[in-house]
Structure 1
Amino acid sequence: MASVHEDIFLEEQEKSEGDIKTLRKLWVYIRKYKFLLFLTFLTLAFATIIELALPFLIRYGIDEVINVSHTFNVSQGAQNQFVEDENGPYTLEKRSNNYYMINNETGESIQVPPEEYAEYFDSAIRRIRLFSMAFIIILAGQFFLNYAQVLSANLVGQKVIYNLRKDLFSHILRLKYTFFEKNPPGKVTTRVVNDTQNLSDFFSEVVTSLLKDIAIIIGVVVLMMVLDFKLSLYTLTMFPVIIVSVIIFRYFDRRAYDKVRTRVSALNSYLAENLSGSTVTKLFNQEERKRKEFDYMSTKVYKANVEQMYVFAIFRPLMSLLQYFTISLLLWFGSILLTDGQTTFGTIYAFTSYVDMFFRPLFDLAEKYDIMQSAFASAGKIFKIMDHPKEDFGKGKYNTIERGKVEFKDVKFSYDGHNEVLKGVNFKIEPNERVAIVGETGSGKTTIIKLISGLYRYNEGKILINDKELYDYDLNEVRKKIAVVPQDVFLFSGTILDNMRLFNKNIPEEEVIKVSKSVFADEIISRLPQNYNTVITERGSTLSSGERQLIALTRAVLFDSKIIILDEATSNVDVETEFLIQQALTKISNRVTIISIAHRLSTVKSSNRIIVVHKGLVVEEGTHNQLINNKGIYYDLYRLQFEKS
């Protein structure tokens, strides 16, 4: 079981571009909002300064406002008249519910009348009140600064994500056809939706808070040194241990996170694939094998999550241990310095707050680091798609097709650059001619159709549309005049009317119904519950194959296509619908060129001409009867189908 679906891990294991290169590409989108960025960083700077200043202010409040010793001196010329003097020998003290002036030098005590010491306390209360009001105003200012900073940062993030998502989808619409053959829809959807959302989380939760955390860590160290150099040296002895612990955590967390991300993505891919193929699983009784495969994949995700859990389980308790150990060192040495009169109680309190402030961002580091990794991984994948070259839409010398004339001149083509699928194809289709292209599987029929539509670039030769080389046209305009009706017609969610006119409300409903009647689609659509307003579910699964093809045929005629290509369009339809399609083709063949690719040769008898492709070359051309009489490859194919039937 160990080898089951290991290949689906490969894409996630590919190394993306470096974070610096990805950040430079992201900066192209960010720098458009310089004013918001300036506002974000300005408010962030002031909010951070206030946050760093709060312990400093509290220290001042404790030492200079609350825990202040009132020192006095005797005024000259007045017995027992005391005035506040920081150099005075008298200190106000309360003893037995009375207040006394104590001479610190002689020990003399003089009782102070109540009306006098009340004045001193009123002064102290006023100082505390003013300090408290100033402190509240500063906190309110910090609140509004934080609000402005979060709002502006998120606004930048949402604008960046909006533009990036819009540009990504626009770029995807212009990518080469080969991109969509190699990349399943689920993967592309993940890039447009999930990966851009990861970037949104990065802007809202990491960018500004990360800068703030770095500023706080640096600011804490600087302010502790300013407050008390000696005490800060004792406290900072633990910081090298903390930094080493964070670096070790970062290494192991990145490894664990990458493993989780890889395996979750692999499980999602496996699940999406097997849900799509659930019918095959049921029909071939593969439920037990699929259950074991899913169990194997799920177990790998479980083990990866457990590994990451071990990293987190060690990191957070370790940080808590280091934090309290640092506070213990601070209190130990702080009490010694306080006893010796070398520091104050307010300073010790401020240091305790700064230690807590230092560890706070470290506790958030794990979560923010994962978000950051996820964001850079997502951005790398987004820009990897945006680095894919856009489709070449030609020289644009000509912008429209007047007539449906098609000519191949010695056209050669290879998908991989080595094995030629077309080895020198030559044929000419005149305007308003009805031509069928037939051949065994792998002969190159579908490749011819893709080359006419410009989905692939041919390697050698020329394809001419109305005697002008295909790539001299603007391919956007060419495709408006070339309609392809595939075997499996794709319909969008909406009504039948919406799909016929491709949601173009400028095309009146009456015109749609008129065209629908002209190609006999109205006969089938009128049987539906709400006729043209019948709602279609995803991909039109509620409609039959024939109904979908009649809708596509109506769409082709409605948009005035000059060339209509049917790629096995009647291979899976019932007899009645096939008859209606053949009638419709006969009716419109006098004004459009019709190219049919078919395996069922009975459906191409009415064609003006049949082109037989064999091993990448055109080997026969002619009507049905001519080719039967020639008894070549077409005759062999027809006889084989006739004998089987």
Structure 2
Amino acid sequence: MEDEKLYSGADKKIFSKLWQYGSPYLGKIMIIFVLVLVLSGIQICLPLITKKVVDNYMERSHLRLIRNDKSIEITNQHKSYRILTDQFIFIPSNILSKEEYLRLEEDSLIGPEKYILFKGDESVNLLKKYQLHITKTAQGVFIPYSEIPKISQDDIRILRSNDLKNVKLFALIYVGLLIFTFIFNYFQVIMMALVSENVLYDLRSDLTRHLMSLSLNFFNNNPIGRLVTRVTNDIDALRELFTDVLVYSGKDIITVIGIFIIMFRLSIKLSILVLGIIPLIFFMLYLFQKYAREAYGKVRLTLAKVNSFLSESISGISLVQVFNQEEKFKDDFGKINRDYYKANLYQLLIFSIFRPLIDILSYV
């Protein structure tokens, strides 16, 4: 039995050949791409909605800074968030970086007390009956968190009624997006399955026609089991490529790009820090591709040997018994089976090393 060699051609050549089968279904592929874009956009929007609800309607705490040239300079990059009065600057407590907070603390320009903002004339009039330390601004009134217990529960419900309405509204939007995600994901899976099955049908048809046109000498030199593996197992591997790898890889790439855009809008320093590990990830991906491809190739080759041996043994079992070669064939099959077992273990080892490393980097 001749050993096969692993194909070492460029991935571009492989995908160019696959594209010949995918190009007739370009319209459906474009619809799938649009659905993937929509799903990626929804996936990015969901945590943004959570952030907006928590920061603007649930936890609306602000820090109070004494207004002078230094505090204005430090908070200049947060102009869209800060609220200015003649004496103070109010800024959301989750906006300032640790470095900015320490610089303000050095000159006693900031205190630990947190404040909450109530907007609207109704809030101002409602709070007048309480003896509170109120700071009026153009956007509303700020009161310290420590004085909230002085306000009755009924009045707190009135003051926070607008926040509750917004929380309910965004909760409905969130649930609606989840429903749309389910619907779009359903159609994307159906469309991808249709395209992949059509592509594989055409590939099987061409492969069958090609096999029928080959000479008898080819079938004499190539075991039937190996050919069956090519027509069945390898085609199934291509199905997995179309239905899982290509779609989810494209979706993940679009999602990562969207996340980085949002990260740079929120914090340039943090984004640059995160980007520092990207070269390490690419290097790990390069090593993983190299060794995983080799491991996967060994699994496919040893599986072809197992199928070939079984096919030859079953079809020639009478000859094996006539010449009393059962033990020899048993030992030969055991060796081939162990090779297949070792190839799978090697592939498992590659994945068991790579995945935890990526998980570790995700927590850095």
TM-score range, shorter chain: 0.7 to 0.9
Question: What one-letter code is carried by the residue in structure 2 that aligns with 1:274?
Answer: S
Match of 1:80 among 128, 144, 153: 128
Which range moves more in the overlay, 29-38 or 274-283?
274-283
| 1:230-245 map, 5 Å | 230-245=269-284
Equivalent position of 1:24 in the other structure: 16
Separation (CA, whole Å) in 2 of partners of 1:226 and 1:37: 32
| 1:604-619 map, 5 Å | none
Equivalent position of 2:301 in the other structure: 262
Question: Structure 1 63/84 Cα, relative in aligned 2: closer, same or farther at 3 Å?
Answer: farther
Aligned length: 303
Give the Å deviation of 1:269: 1.5
Question: What one-letter code is carried by the residue in structure 2 that aligns with 1:60?
Answer: K
Question: Structure 1 85/140 Cα, relative in aligned 2: closer, same or farther at 3 Å?
Answer: farther
Separation (CA, whole Å) in 1 of partners of 2:305 and 2:199: 29
Assess if the C-alpha contact under 8 Å between 1:73 and 1:90 holds in 2: no
Question: What one-letter code is carried by the residue in structure 1 that aligns with 2:339?
Answer: K
Give the Å deviation of 1:44: 0.5
Assess if the C-alpha contact under 8 Å between 1:73 and 1:84 holds in 2: no
Check if 1:141 corresponds to 2:193.
no
Match of 1:304 among 336, 343, 363: 343
| 1:580-591 map, 5 Å | none
Question: Structure 1 86/181 Cα, relative in aligned 2: closer, same or farther at 3 Å?
Answer: farther
Assess if the C-alpha contact under 8 Å between 1:70 and 1:84 holds in 2: no
Question: Structure 1 96/299 Cα, relative in aligned 2: closer, same or farther at 3 Å?
Answer: closer
Separation (CA, whole Å) in 2 of partners of 1:84 and 1:37: 57
Corresponding residue SS for 1:70: strand
Corresponding residue SS for 1:90: strand
Equivalent position of 1:352 in the other structure: none
| 1:546-625 map, 5 Å | none
Question: What one-letter code is carried by the residue in structure 2 that aligns with 1:57?
Answer: I
Check if 1:91 corresponds to 2:130.
no
Equivalent position of 1:55 in the other structure: 47
Assess if the C-alpha contact under 8 Å between 1:72 and 1:91 holds in 2: no
Separation (CA, whole Å) in 1 of partners of 2:340 and 2:192: 34
Separation (CA, whole Å) in 1 of partners of 2:136 and 2:168: 20
Q: Report Cα offsets for 1:205-244 as digits up to 9, x if no partner.
A: 2121111122223332232112211222333333332332
Match of 2:354 among 315, 339, 350: 315
Name whichever structure is richer in helix by fraction. Answer: 2
Assess if the C-alpha contact under 8 Å between 1:36 and 1:152 holds in 2: yes
Assess if the C-alpha contact under 8 Å between 1:37 and 1:156 holds in 2: yes
TM-score (norm 1): 0.43
Check if 1:37 corresponds to 2:16.
no
Assess if the C-alpha contact under 8 Å between 1:168 and 1:192 holds in 2: yes
Question: What one-letter code is carried by the residue in structure 2 that aligns with 1:120?
Answer: L
Assess if the C-alpha contact under 8 Å between 1:73 and 1:85 holds in 2: no
Assess if the C-alpha contact under 8 Å between 2:119 and 2:139 holds in 1: yes
Assess if the C-alpha contact under 8 Å between 2:292 and 2:347 holds in 1: yes
Equivalent position of 2:289 in the other structure: 250
Assess if the C-alpha contact under 8 Å between 1:73 and 1:83 holds in 2: no
Assess if the C-alpha contact under 8 Å between 1:61 and 1:131 holds in 2: yes
Separation (CA, whole Å) in 1 of partners of 2:337 and 2:231: 26
Question: Structure 1 265/237 Cα, relative in aligned 2: closer, same or farther at 3 Å?
Answer: same
Question: Structure 1 209/323 Cα, relative in aligned 2: closer, same or farther at 3 Å?
Answer: same
Question: What one-letter code is carried by the residue in structure 2 that aligns with 1:98?
Answer: K
Give the Å deviation of 1:35: 2.0
Question: Structure 1 87/141 Cα, relative in aligned 2: closer, same or farther at 3 Å?
Answer: same
Separation (CA, whole Å) in 2 of partners of 1:127 and 1:144: 26
Higher relative contact order (CA 8 A, sep 6+): 2
Identity, % of aligned pairs? 30
Assess if the C-alpha contact under 8 Å between 2:39 and 2:181 holds in 1: yes
Corresponding residue SS for 1:258: helix
Give the Å deviation of 1:311: 1.7
Which range moves more in the overlay, 42-51 or 172-181?
172-181
Check if 1:121 corresponds to 2:160.
yes
Equivalent position of 1:399 in the other structure: none
Question: Structure 1 286/13 Cα, relative in aligned 2: closer, same or farther at 3 Å?
Answer: same
Equivalent position of 2:77 in the other structure: none
Gaps of 5+ in 2: 61-115
Check if 1:229 corresponds to 2:268.
yes
Which of these two proteins has the greater Rg computed from alpha carbons? Answer: 1
Separation (CA, whole Å) in 2 of partners of 1:287 and 1:115: 88
Assess if the C-alpha contact under 8 Å between 1:50 and 1:142 holds in 2: yes
Match of 2:316 among 268, 277, 284: 277
Equivalent position of 2:117 in the other structure: 70
Check if 1:198 corresponds to 2:246.
no
Q: Report Cα offsets for 1:595-619 as digits up to 9, x if no partner.
A: xxxxxxxxxxxxxxxxxxxxxxxxx
| 1:535-550 map, 5 Å | none
Which range moves more in the overlay, 161-170 or 178-187?
178-187
Separation (CA, whole Å) in 2 of partners of 1:32 and 1:322: 41
Q: In angstroms, what is the RMSD of aligned CA positions?
A: 3.1
Assess if the C-alpha contact under 8 Å between 1:72 and 1:86 holds in 2: no
Separation (CA, whole Å) in 1 of partners of 2:204 and 2:248: 24
Q: Report Cα offsets for 1:404-463 as digits up to 9, x if no partner.
A: xxxxxxxxxxxxxxxxxxxxxxxxxxxxxxxxxxxxxxxxxxxxxxxxxxxxxxxxxxxx
Question: What one-letter code is carried by the residue in structure 2 that aligns with 1:80?
Answer: K
Corresponding residue SS for 1:13: coil
Separation (CA, whole Å) in 1 of partners of 2:172 and 2:181: 14
Question: What one-letter code is carried by the residue in structure 1 that aligns with 2:205?
Answer: K
Separation (CA, whole Å) in 1 of partners of 2:268 and 2:141: 30
Question: Structure 1 85/146 Cα, relative in aligned 2: closer, same or farther at 3 Å?
Answer: farther
TM-score (norm 2): 0.73
Gaps of 5+ in 1: 1-6, 100-112, 327-645
Question: What one-letter code is carried by the residue in structure 2 that aligns with 1:91?
Answer: I
Question: Structure 1 215/258 Cα, relative in aligned 2: closer, same or farther at 3 Å?
Answer: same
Separation (CA, whole Å) in 2 of partners of 1:88 and 1:311: 59
Separation (CA, whole Å) in 2 of partners of 1:171 and 1:258: 23
Assess if the C-alpha contact under 8 Å between 1:71 and 1:84 holds in 2: no
Q: Report Cα offsets for 1:246-273 as digits up to 9, x if no partner.
A: 2222222222222222222222222322
